[in-house]
Amino acid sequence: MIRVHRGLGPHELTPTIVRELTAEYLADDSKAVWNKPYIRKALLAMSRNKCVYCETRIDEESKYMEVDHYYCKSRHPTKVVEWVNLLPACKRCNVNKGDYDIVAEGDLVDPTRDDPQQHLILINYRLQGRDDKGRRVVEHTYLNETNRTVKARFEIGTFVSEAIERLSALAKECLANPSDRRKLNQLERGMLALLEEARPTSEYSATVATIMAGHPEYQVAKDGLEALDRWSFNFASLETQMLLCKLG
């Protein structure tokens, strides 16, 4: 989970439309009045096409993209189309969260309101809460489901760790022979590709960023690029984004 900037809602969702759609739902709660193309499109853009909870990729056309209500619609029906109450989620997370009522049961981490770095840490590919809000979101959206989320984090973490170790070894070779342009280019491209995977737009960016930032060999590779005068502004900018995504 990473911080998400909500921004303004879609221009089509005017106060008048909100009242009309809310009234429609209150008259017939079987109608998914929030499932409008312009709402879905705006939510996907807000979350960079990812589930706000587990960070799996979701597409506008995907049947797995669902509109989650931070205040559950069964207990808070007048909030069913309030922009600040809507979140894009994968089917797994939305179904798991279900009718959880934050008023009666306690707040969850909402990445459009909260900074997940303040509430969650990643230990052995499992998310742990720093506080009650963090613990509740992990528990009630099943963010440590072994065969889904934890397995995905493990596979990604293994790939990232191996890539960092290769870059570290390559940096040492380049320092020993700085005239080898082929290896220098490999080092630069490899670091760039890895940092790109830790950007907020990338799937599971929190996992990638956390593994990278905590791996001792990452600093070795970075130091090598700096010593070779190859650590550019682009690298620094991507690293800043990476540090904003990491947990713990």
Question: Do 129 and 154 form a contact (C-beta atoms < 8 A)?
Answer: no
pLDDT of residue 248: 77
- pLDDT by 10-residue block (mean), the chain, 248 residues: 94 97 97 96 94 88 81 96 96 94 96 96 95 96 91 94 97 95 95 96 95 96 96 96 93
pLDDT of residue 38: 96
Q: What is the pTM of this model?
A: 0.90
pLDDT of residue 146: 84
Distances 95 to 36, 64, 67, 170, 195 between C-alpha atoms, Å:
19, 11, 11, 45, 32
Sign of CA dihedral 63, 64, 69, 72: positive
